[in-house]
Structure 1
Amino acid sequence: MARPHEIAFPAGKRARRYLAPLLPAAAIIGLVSLGAAPSFAMEGKQLPAPAIDEPASQGATDTAVLAGGCFWGVQGVFEHVKGVTSAVSGYAGGGMAQAHYADVSTGATGHAESVRITFDPGKISYGRILQIFFSVAHDPTQHNRQGPDEGTQYRSAIFPISAEQAKIAKAYIAQLNSARVLEAPVATTIEPSRLFFPAEPYHQDFLARNPTYGYIVVNDLPKIENLKRLFPNEYRADPVLAPAER
């Protein structure tokens, strides 16, 4: 995998995501703490478990496809979740021909930066995956923006692979809105029947391989700490890394 400074990111990409590494990580954290109020990603919030969920299933695997801003952080969170056997960064919501970083970054392809999570339903349920997704992996009250990243490619979305997953996701969003446990209504969309395309190799395991990268330090490492703090029974210290697919 290329190191961050060796990657030729598209010129159209929002500069804030890639200029962050030019400052030392400690300096970035200091500027953030002096300036803005803590973000959802910095604090996290343990939300109630879904009232409707799939039953445990032994000897099987299941898949969830979720989009919550930059896929580096979402992938990084789920690589630290017990019961997850694989988390792959990629693109969902658009076609195969434009499922490439340079195209998706324009925001014009219909894709969202997404993560395909393969998990053991005997160890963790789809509902618990959604609970972690809403609690620590991203801010579900923001639709087309997460942290410094803005555009439809950073939207909050669930891509269910079955009618049962769609039912659980819809019920959970309704549950959270009814309970008013968030400061604003859930903005996450449910977009069924969508294909998933793995992202380029240099995007895979980005958080695990670049923990001192400025963007990761500010926007994503707090998510890992929140996972550890809010879901100690689901947290594992050693991440499961993505298989080579592309």
Structure 2
Amino acid sequence: MSGCESTDGWEAVFWDIGGVILALDSVQRAHAEFVARLLEHHGIETTLEAAIDTWQTTVGEYFRERDGTEFRAAREAYHRGIEAIVGEEVPRDEWHPHVDDVIRSSLEPVSGAPETIARLADRDVHVGVVSDIDDAEGRAILEGFGVCKHLDSMTTSEEVGRTKPDPAIFETALEKADAEPGRSLMIGDRYTHDVKGAAEVGMCGVAFGADDGPAVSYRIDTPEEVLEILDGEQPDTA
């Protein structure tokens, strides 16, 4: 079930953030760093491991409770995680600056992704992001990686109100790009959410670490291989 209609004349390239532009192992380290700061700031006597477990459990439960593809803000999940660790509500203006600092200092890009996006910006193709992330957090991450200035559009679940694989988020991105689905690539690390979701609206799904399946039009091992797809040097897998 590949969404591709054409393998030439590409009009748009869309990127997921987590696992595609943003290295997921750095996210785990960043959360651990934030929790460590939280313990120190509030003088909480518990182990870092126990606090991280509380954080992951609370944040995970918040997202699992959502209704289908309904958007839920990460900032609310963080707020609940902090309250669970500290034992009382902590005002957002007290903890949010620490989150911003961790984003700037701890998060790392996937090797080659920022450079590839910069190279795409020099081509006659729309370059966009389609992500389930909060608006502000997404922009902070991409600005930190030097990517924002190379993007033509950014479409988030907070903006649309739905998460992938809901067709609304892909359709919104395509509308911004004024691009035909079959001439648009969607690069993602999750088969159902990114690749299959994009294919169901007629886009060409590019698997970057995602599971295999009939919706995969292309599979890449490095971000740079996206350039090969645009140049017609990599055969599709449909």
* Fold in common (TM above 0.5): no
- Determine which structure has more spread, i.e. the larger CA radius of gyration: 2
Q: TM-score, normalised by structure 2?
A: 0.27
